[in-house]
Amino acid sequence: MVRVPGGPFRMGGDDPDAFPEDGEGPVRVVEVSPFLVDATSVTNAQFAVFAKATGHVTTAERLGWSFVFHQLLHPDAVRHVRRDGIAGVAWWLAVEGATWRAPSGPGSDIGRLPNHPVVHVSWDDAAAYSAWSGKRLPTEAEWERAARGGLDGARFPWGDELTPRGRHQCNIWQGTFPTHNTLDDGHLGTAPVKSYRPNGLGLYNVAGNVWEWCADWWSTSWHADDRPETRTDPRGPSTGDARVLRGGSFLCHQSYCNRYRVAARTSNTPDSTTGHTGFRCVADIA
């Protein structure tokens, strides 16, 4: 794990290409206590140890299906695609038998992906793993503090330019989403958790690759008169039954979802599972 210093930092963003409806701004000062954070998102190998030790059955395994990106569907899984997909996002396929063990549906496995981030895990699964490991999920403020890597106000964990000197710094979509990926960064789906250079604190892949669950309930309101609390972002009350997700994924693209920026955020219900969602853990410092 990596130690993240405590203290105040500027959280949020006001980028011209931000999503105001997501509650990214305004930029405000939030204070956190020092804490430890995993250098990487939890891997398939790590989650396999947890599943074997506890017998944990994930949400996708219990429900019998999960969402798979259409270009990653295993040929043997074609007949397992359900008809009840998501309206307007045809690239997401509801696939019976898609789980963390079979990320592309029946016929696939994680045999060659031990160091890739575990996916098809719900918030509930992530919380269970965190508790078993003696850790917890990060608050949204902790996640952003760590992801910024010590940079103040930068758009990305490494600075303000997406590809400095033409070098890819994260695993996101290149080309025309969602039909053609040029694979300029070398990956169609997930990348190994230690791909690309770490940020200034030593965290890998906090932009792109997979969305990461946070502890917070989703809210888009911010009370400017509230005093920042330790380890939290004093937002307004929850606006539903969703949990916060941070970091973006390998499917993010400037034309559709440029939420690989540090201040960007989204949400999903705690029982939702997809092929581009994972997590990393944090721990308190005594």
- Other CB atoms closer than 10 Å to residue 178's CB: what's the count? 17
Both tokens assigned to 48: 């396999």
Q: How confident is the model at residue 188 (pLDDT cuts 50, 70, 90)?
A: very high
CA 115 vs CA 111, 184, 245: distances in Å: 10, 21, 21
Q: Where are the domains of the chain?
A: 2-42+126-284
Give the integer Cα–Cα distance in Å for 116 and 110: 9
Task: Please report, to the nearest 10 degrees, the dihedral formed by the alpha carbons of residues 143, 9, 17, 138 taken in order.
Answer: 10
* pLDDT value of residue 16: 87
pLDDT of residue 231: 36
Beta bridge partners of 266: 245
* Res. 224: pLDDT tops 80: no
Q: Which residue has the tokens 């017998």?
A: 55
* pLDDT tens digits for range 40-84: 999 999 999 999 999 999 999 999 999 999 999 999 999 999 988
Report the 10 Å Cβ neighbour count for 25.
16
CATH code of 2-42+126-284, in short, is: 3.90.1580.10
Q: Enter the pTM of the model.
A: 0.93
